[in-house]
Structure 1
Amino acid sequence: MVYSNKNFFNRELSWLYFNERVLDEAILDKNPLVERLKFIAITSSNLDEFFMIRVAGLKAQIEENYIKTDISGLTPNEQMEKIKIKVKKLVEKQYNCIINTLFPELEKENIFIKKYNELSLKQKDFVENYFNETIFPILTPMAIDASRPFPHLINKSLNIMTKLLIDGENRFSIIQVPTIINRFLELPSKNTKEFILIEDIIKANINKLFTGYKIDITGEFRITRDGDMIIDEDEADDLLIEIENSLQKRKWGSPVRLEVKEDLDNDILEFLTESLNLHISNIYKLNGPLDLTFLFSFCNINNNKNLEFKPQPPILSKAFSKEESIFSSIRKKDIILHHPYDSFSPIIDLIEVAANDPKVLAIKQTLYRVSGDSPIVKSLIKAAKNGKQVTVLVEIKARFDEERNIKWARKLEKSGCHVVYGLKGLKTHAKCLLIVRNENNGIRRYVHFGTGNYNDSTAKLYTDLGFITCKEEYCIDATNLFNKLTGFSSPKSWHKLSIAPEGLRNKLYKLIDKEILNAKEGREGKIIAKMNSLVDKEIIEKLYDASNAGVKITLIIRGACCLLPEVKGLSENIKVYSIVGRYLEHSRIYYFFNNNNPKIYLSSADLMTRNLDRRIETFFPIEDKEAIDLIKMILEYNLKDNYNSRIIKSDGSYELIKNKHKTFNCHKEFYSFTKKNN
C-alpha cells in the first residue's frame, strides 16, 4: 500500500510535543517542588539542543533553497514556521509556570529569588562588596563603535547590553555575565533562604564599569548558535584533531535564536537583530530570567528533602553474591539488570574485577557516553597497566560528549589501551563489553550487552536494561563485532545478534511480516515495542501494513513519534503511549507474539533512520525463561501506568491518562518489585 504525507506526523513538531510533556511534569503538582524546578531546567536544556541542531539544520536548508519535503509533506520553510509558533507557545507556558506558580511556591517554603530593589540595606551592602571583590575584576565591558565592531559572543552566553547617550547619539556596549562563578548569590538572612541573580547585581552596579558616562538603559539577551559539526572523514588525516578543531567552531556557529527580556528597549533590540543578522521571527521575548538551566544548580541548595522525590537507592541484584565470584554468578545463568532499580555497580565491579584478575587475558568495550569521573575508564586503564590486552572503541562523534570522550581516549591510549574511533561514516552506538578469561576448562568469554550507556551517573536516572551471559553463541557474536569494529572483518552470519546498518532493518521487517502472516491466517498477531523515538518512514509503513492486516500493535515511545495511531483505515489497531516521569525512559524492548511463542529482543537502537542505516547498533534475543518473564512484566507495568503515562491521539497530540482505577506509578512499582525480589 502507498501511504501519503498526511499519514505521518512531522518529527520536529513531535519532538516539541515531547518537550511539552516534560514541561507538564513541572506544571503538575503531583511532583515535589524541587523536582518541578528540575523539569523546567530540563525543558530549557532540551530547547537549547533543539535549536543548536534541528533548527540550525532547517535554517541551513532554507539558505541553500532546499525545498524537498519531509515525510509529513512540509518544506523546511513550512516546518520552521510551525516550529516558531509551537516554541513561542511552549516558552510562554514555561515562564507562566515558573513566574506564577513555582516561584510563589518557593516563597511559601521561605525560599526567595529577590530583585535588587527588594533587598534590605544590609543585603545591598553585602551585594556591593561581592560585586567589588569578586564580580568587578572578572567583567570586561565591550564597547561597540567604528573601531570596535560587534563582538563574537560565545554560544549560550548570557549578556547585558547597555545603551549610553554620548554626544547626542546612542552608543552600545556589551558585558558578558561570567560563567566562572555561580549564577546566583545567597544573601544574608535570618529565617529564610534568599538569593539574587548575578545579572541583577551587575545591572545595579553597572555605572562602576562606565565611569564618566551616564547609562541610559540596560537589557539582557542570550544567543543560541548552530551547534552541529560537519566532519569530512575522507579528508581528515586525524579524526581526533579534526573533531577538536570543530569543537572550537561550535562556539562560534551562526546565530539561530535570540532570547531577550520582554521589556528590552526597542533601540537595543533593533541594534541586536541588525548586528546578528537575525529576522524578528527568531527573537523570543521572555518575562523572567533568561537561561533557566541555572535551576539545575539552584536545586542543589535545597536542604528540605520533603521537596524532592523520596529516595530510591539502587538495589544489588540477588544474582550476585558476596560468597562467590562475579564470574561464578554469570556462569550460573543469564542475568538481566533493570536500571536504575537494579544497581549499576555489578557492571562497574565486573570490569574492576577483570582488571585485577590474573586469569583475565583481554577486555574489549564500546564507550559512547561516560561520566566525567568514570570508574569504568579508570578500571580499563588499570587493566592495561596490569598487562591485559584492552581494546576500547571510544565514539568521539557522540554529540555534545565529544570533548569528554577525546579526553578519555587520550588517557586510555597513554595507559597502553588500544583505542579505536569506529568505522568511517558510522557512529558506534552499540553497548557491548567482552571479557576473555583463561579458566580450568580453557578459554571462556563473558559478555554484557545494554540498551544504555556505560555511564554510572545516568544509570541512576535512566531506565535501561543490561544483559550478561557467558553463552558461547552470544560471545562468538561479540567477538565478531569487535573484529568488525577494529579490523577488516565482515562475518557472513551471526548466531544471535542482528547488527545495524547491515541486517537489523531486514530482521525487523521479517519479524513484523511473521505477525502479518499469522494475522492473515486467522492466528493472533501482536507486537509490543518500547523505544525513545519512532521516525523511520519505512518502518512506520510496515507497522501500518501490520495494523491493516489485523496485528494488534502497542507502542511505548518516550520522544518523537511520526506514526499516527488509531486512524480509521490506516492504524486502527495501533496504540501509542508515552511515559515521562521521575526517570528518563531509555530502554529499547521489542516483543513479537510469534503464534504464542514470544520472541523478545533488547537493543541499543531506536526506530530512527540514523540508527538503522548510519550507526553500529546491536539487537539481541532474550531466551532465558526467567529473563523473558521479567521483560514481559516490565512491558506490562509500562502499559498499566496511569500516573506518568499519556496516550497519543490521532492528530499527534497527547493526553494524560486518567486514573480510572487505583493509581499505578510504574516507576514506584518497579522499585517495590525490585526491593521485594532481592
Structure 2
Amino acid sequence: MTKQVSPYLNRDLSWVEFNRRVLQEAQDPQNPLLERAKFLAIVSSNLDEFMSVRVAGVHEQIRAGLMKMDFTGYSPSGLWKRLLKRTKSMVTEQYRTYRELMKCLHKEGIYIREYAELTPTAQKAMAEYYNEIVFPVITPMAVDQSRPFPHVHTKELYLAVTLRLEGEDESEEPLFAIIQIPSILPRCIPVPSRSNSKKQEFVLLEELITTFIDSLFAGYNIYSVSSFRLTRNSDLSIDEEGAEDLLEEIEKELRRRKWGIPVRLEVESDIDPYALEMLKEELEIKDALYMIDGPLDLSYMMKFSAMVKGHENLRYKKFEPSYPTEFDEDKDIMSVIAERDVLLHHPFESFEPVNDFVWQAAKDPDVLAIKMTMYRVSGQSPLVKALEHAAATGKQVTVIVELKARFDEENNIAWAKRLEKAGCHVVYGLVGLKIHAKLLLVVRREKYGLRRYVHVGTGNYNENTAKLYTDIGLMTSNDIIGADTSALFNEVTGYSAPRDWEAFAVAPTGLKTKLLKLIDREIEHARAGKEAKIIAKMNSLSNQEMIDKLYEASIAGVSIELIIRGVCSLRPGVPGVSENIKVISIVDRYLEHSRIVYFYNDGKEEVYLSSADWMTRNLEKRVELLCPVFDQELKNILIVLLQLSLADNVKARLLKMNGQYEQLRELVGIAPFRSQFEAQYVERWKGLS
C-alpha cells in the first residue's frame, strides 16, 4: 500500500457504497419484482436524508471557509466534489434500474402510464379525477416584478412552467410560474379498468397536472412544463445550553428547518433551459444539480408496490413472527423472567411480548414503577397507551423522551405532551447528549422485597420497525442488571453521580473505555500465544480510536470478524496492519440493526448487546449502553446468530482494501447460504445452543 493511500476509508464515501448495495438489491433478479421496486424507493429515501444532513454538513463547512482535512485525508471541498460525482453516478444507475423494472412490470400487466397512453374511457375517468379532486387543491404561483419567487419546500415535488400570453411575440422572454404537487394527494393514481381486465394501470399525479396544465393558465400558451425538487439542509442546530425550555427550542428549530440552505436541485433531464436558469439563480444552486431521466423522487415506489393488487408471486412470501415459546402467550411474563433470562430475536420473533410485558405491569397492583427510554416509537404505540394506563392507576411512570431523534422530533414532542397530560413524568434527556439507550424497567413489590424486571434492546420500542429490522431484546430479572438499570435512570433524570457500573458500560463516560479494555485483553492473549478472537456486529464503524485499536489487535494476531451493514471507515486487508480483519455487509429483506459484540477471552467467552454503533457520535455524544449476557445458554444462541451471519454467501458482501464490496457467492464454490432465511427458523438457532 502506497504512502498516499489513507489507512482509513471516508465515512461519507463509505455510506455511498452502502446505498449502492441497497441498489444492488433492486437490481437482483433473484428478488421478487415488487420487492425490488421497494429497494429502489429505499435508495431514494436514504439519499434524501444523506443529502439533507451529511452532504449539507460538508456544504456548511465549505461556506464557513474550513479547509482542514479529516482523519481520512479529505478536505470539505475535496469531499464535496467526490460526493457529488459518486451520488450522481449512483442516481444514473438507479434510473437505469428503474427503466428495467418498468419493462419487467409491463410483462406482468402492471403499468405506470402517460395520460395519452390510456384508453378514451380511462382518460375520461382521469379527467374527472383531476377536475373533482386535484384542480381545487393546486395553486399556480407566478413569478414577476410584483410576485417574488415563492418559498420552495424541501423534498417536495414542483412543476416549473414557462408560458406567454396568447399572441405574444416569441422573441420576448417567457413568463415563469411554479406549481407545488400536493403531497396530501396520492402520488400514484390507480386507473379504473374493466372488471375482466388483468392489467393494472397507474398515472402519476404530476403527469395528470401537466396534462391539464392549461386549466390553470387561461389565456396563455404553455411552452414547457418540467418537474423539479429541492433538498435543503435539514440538520437541527440547537443551542441547548442557552435554551430555557428544550421542547420549545426544538419546536422553533423545526420551523426553521423549512428555510434551510439549498444543497441539491433535481430536475427533469429535458427541462427548458430558461426554466433551469431561473431555478439555479433563485435557489442558488451551482454544481449540486442532478439531471434526472425519469420521475423525480422514486420513494413513491414503496406505496406503489403496496397498491398493486394480487401478484403475490412478485412479493416476498408472507412471514408471521412467532410468539416466543418461553412465554406461550398465556404465561405470566414476569413469572417467566423471574425464573430465567429470555432473548427475543426480531423480526423472527414477535415484539408482542414487550407490549404484553408493559401492559401486564400497568395492570398489576404490585407494580410500583415503570421507567423507559423512548427514541422512536410507532404512530399508534401500544406501549404509550400502557404507560398512560399505568399512570392513571397511580403508578410512578417515568419516560425519557429523546426530542432530538432526527426526523422524529415532531412525533416525539407530541408523545411527550400526551404522556405528561396522562400524568407520566417526562424527561427530555440531557443537554448536549442524545439518549439512545434502549431500556425498560419495571419495579414490583414481591414476597421477599422489591424486584426489578428489565428489558434491554438493540433497537427502538417500535412494533412496526420490529417487523422490518433485525434486533435483539434481553428480558431479565438479574439483580446486577436491575441495579445498574435503576442507577442509569437516576443519573439521567436527576443529579446522581456517575456509578461504578457492575454490569453496564455507558456512553459517553465509559463505553468506549470498556470496549478498548476488552480489545486490549484479546491483544494480551494473542501476544501470549493464545487463541484470540473478536466478532462484532453493528450498523457503522467510523471512530478513529476504535479503528486504531482494531488495527493494533490485528497486528498482534487477534482474529477479527466484523459484520457492518453500513458505514465502515476501517480498511481491511492492509499488509502488516489489518490482514487479520474481515469485514462483511449484509443487505437483505430485513434491515440488519442488532449490535452484538463477542470476545473469545481465552475460552471464557463473553457476549454483549449494545445500542451503540462504533461512531464518534455514539461513543462520545450520546447516552448508549453495553450490556453483558450472563446466561450461558443465551450466549450460545447469540454466538450461533453471529456464525449464521458470517456464513452468509448470498446477501453478504466482502469489503476489499480499496473500499469496494464484492459478493461472496462469486468468490466461493460452496452451496448458497442466506443467513436471514436461515435465522427464520427460531427453534433451530435456539436449539443449537
Normalization by structure 1: what TM-score?
0.98
Q: What secondary structure sits across from 1:590 in the alignment?
A: strand
| 2:518 paired residue number | 511
- Looking at structure 2, the residues matched to 446 and 673 of structure 1 have their Cα atoms a distance apart, in angstroms, of 24
Q: 2:610 aligns with which of 603, 611, 625?
A: 603
Q: Which of residues 668, 671, 676 in structure 2 aligns to 1:662?
A: 671
User: In the aligned structure 1, how far is the partner of 2:642 from the partner of 2:68?
Assistant: 38
Instruction: Name the residue aligned to 1:128.
Output: 127
Q: Which moved more, 1:479-488 or 1:515-524?
A: 515-524
Deviation at 1:346, TM superposition (A): 0.5
State the distance in 2 between where 1:369 and 1:655 align: 33
Q: Which amino acid aligns with 2:150?
A: P
1:526 matched to 2:530 = no
Partner of 2:422: 415
**In structure 1, how many angstroms separate the alpha carbons of the residues matched to 2:298 and 2:84?**
19
Secondary structure, aligned partner of 1:563 = coil
Number of matched pairs? 674
Q: Which amino acid aligns with 2:278?
A: F
Aligned counterparts of 1:415 and 1:492: Cα–Cα separation in 2: 31
Out of 175, 197, 219, the position equivalent to 1:171 is 175
**Alignment partners' CA distance in 2, 1:354 and 1:169:** 71
Residue 69 of structure 1 is matched in structure 2 by 69
List per-residue Cα deviations over 1:326-361 (Å, max 9, x = no partner).
111101111111111111110000001101110100
CA contact (8 A) 1:227 1:251 kept: yes
Deviation at 1:492, TM superposition (A): 3.6
Q: Which position in structure 1 is the counterpart of 2:296?
A: 290
1:375-390 to 2 correspondences below 5 Å: 375-390=382-397
Question: What is the identity percentage for the equivalent residue pairs of Structure 1 and Structure 2?
Answer: 49
In structure 2, what is the equivalent of residue 368 of structure 1? 375
Contact 2:640–2:685 (CA<8 Å) still a contact in 1? no
Deviations 1:524-576 (A, max 9, x none): 11111000000000100000011011111110000000000011111011000
Distance, in Å, in 2 between the alignment partners of 1:676 and 1:52 is: 40
**C-alpha spacing 1:5/1:162, structure 2 compared with 1 (3 Å):** same
Amino acid at match of 1:545: E
- CA RMSD across the alignment: 1.2
Following superposition of structure 1 onto structure 2, how do residues 217-236 of structure 1 map, counting pairs within 5 Å?
217-236=224-243
Structure 1 residues 412-440: Cα deviation after superposition (integer angstroms, max 9, x where no partner): 00000000011110000000000000111
AA aligned to 2:191 is L
The whole-number CA distance in structure 2 between the counterparts of 1:227 and 1:183 is 23
Give distance in 1, aligned partners of 2:257 and 2:302.
Answer: 23
Report the secondary structure of 1:169's partner residue: coil
Task: Check if 1:184 corresponds to 2:188.
Answer: yes
Residue in 2 that maps onto 1:671 = 680
Q: Which amino acid aligns with 1:603?
A: S
1:322, 1:541 → 2: CA distance?
Answer: 47
User: Residues 624, 189 of structure 1: CA spacing in aligned structure 2 closer, same or farther, 3 A cutoff?
Assistant: same
Give yes or no for contact 2:641–2:685 (8 Å, CA) kept in 1: no
Counterparts of 1:265 and 1:500, CA distance in 2: 53
How many angstroms apart in 2 are the aligned matches of 1:32 and 1:675?
Answer: 26
Mark the CA change 1:648 to 1:184 in structure 2 (over 3 Å): closer, same or farther.
same
Q: Secondary structure at the match of 2:345?
A: strand
Distance in 1 of aligned mates of 2:203 and 2:449: 66
Which runs of structure 1 show a deviation greater than 4 angstroms over 4 or more consecutive aligned residues? Answer: 675-678
Quote the residue 1:110 is aligned against. Answer: 109
| Contact 2:439-2:454 within 8 A present in 1 as well | yes
Distance 2:5 2:520 in 1: 23
Helix, strand or coil at the partner of 1:122: helix
Query: CA offset at residue 669 of structure 1?
Result: 0.6
SS in 2 for 1:202: helix
Question: Structure 2: how far apart are the matches of 1:85 and 1:371?
Answer: 36
Question: Are 2:252 and 1:245 equivalent residues in the alignment?
Answer: yes
The one-letter code matched in structure 1 to 2:101 is: L
- Structure 2: gaps of 5 or more residues: none
Q: Write out aligned runs for 1:193-342 (5 A).
A: 193-279=200-286, 281-302=287-308, 303-322=310-329, 324-342=331-349
Q: Tell me how far apart the structure 2 counterparts of residues 621 and 4 of structure 1 sit (CA, whole Å).
A: 41
Deviation, structure 1 residue 660 = 2.1
Once the two structures are superposed, what CA deviation does each residue of 1:562-610 show, in whole Å capped at 9, x if it has no partner? 0000111110110000000011000001111111111111100000000
SS at match of 2:229: strand
- Equivalent in the alignment of 1:156: 155
What SS is found at the alignment partner of 1:244?
helix
Distance 1:135 1:67 in 2: 49
Q: What is the identity, as a one-letter code, of the residue corresponding to 2:159?
A: I
Deviation (angstroms), 1:676:
8.3
Structure 2 equivalent of residue 502 of structure 1 = 509
Whichever residue aligns with residue 182 of structure 1, its letter is P
CA distance in 1, matches of 2:548, 2:284: 41
Give per-residue Cα distances to partners, 1:260-298, cap 9 Å, x unaligned: 11111111111110111110x211011110011111111
After superposition, give the CA deviation of every residue in 1:11-41 in whole Å (9 maximum; x if it has no partner): 1100000000001000001110111000000
Residues 256 and 278 in structure 1, CA contact (< 8 A), matched pair in contact too: yes
Per-residue Cα deviation, 1:230-260 (whole angstroms, up to 9, x for no partner): 0001111111111111111112211110001
Specify whether residues 234 and 499 from structure 1 end up closer, same or farther in structure 2 by C-alpha distance, changes over 3 A only. Answer: same
Instruction: Give per-residue Cα distances to partners, 1:163-192, cap 9 Å, x unaligned.
Output: 013452211000101111100211122311
1:547 matched to 2:551 = no
SS of aligned partner of 1:509: helix
> Alpha-carbon deviation of 1:321?
3.4
> Displacement, 1:324?
3.4
The one-letter code matched in structure 2 to 1:245 is: K
Q: CA deviation at 1:673?
A: 3.6
Residue 647 of structure 2: aligned partner: 640
Distance between the aligned counterparts of 2:190 and 2:580, measured in 1?
56
Are the counterparts in 2 of residues 315 and 675 from structure 1 also a CA contact under 8 Å?
no
- Give the Cα–Cα distance (whole angstroms) in 2 for the partners of residues 435 and 361 of structure 1: 8
- Name the amino acid aligned to 1:103: M
- Aligned with residue 542 of structure 2, among 516, 522, 535: 535
Q: SS in structure 2 opposite 1:214?
A: strand
Which secondary structure state, in structure 1, belongs to the residue aligned with residue 601 of structure 2?
coil
8 Å Cα contact 2:487-2:499 kept in structure 1: no
Distance 1:72 1:127 in 2: 54
Q: 1:71, CA displacement in angstroms? A: 1.6
C-alpha displacement of 1:323: 5.1
Match of 2:36? 36
The 10-residue stretch of structure 1 (188-197 or 202-211) with the greater mean CA deviation from structure 2:
188-197
2:348–2:682 Cα contact (<8 Å) kept: no
State the secondary structure of the residue aligned to 1:6: coil
Output the CA distance in 2 between the equivalents of 1:199 and 1:394: 39
**1:631 equivalent in alignment to 2:638:** yes
Q: CA deviation at 1:4?
A: 8.7
Distance 1:540 1:146, change over 3 A: same
- Stretches of structure 1 lacking an aligned partner (at least 5 in a row): none
Partner of 1:427: 434
Q: Is the 8 A contact 2:637 2:686 kept in 1?
A: no
In the alignment, the residues of structure 2 paired with residue 471 and residue 200 of structure 1 have an alpha-carbon distance, to the nearest angstrom, of: 60
Q: Is 1:349 aligned to 2:356, yes or no?
A: yes
Secondary structure of the structure 1 residue equivalent to 2:506: strand
Residue range with higher mean Cα deviation, 167-176 or 148-157: 167-176
Taking the aligned partners of 1:573 and 1:151, their CA distance within structure 2 comes to: 57
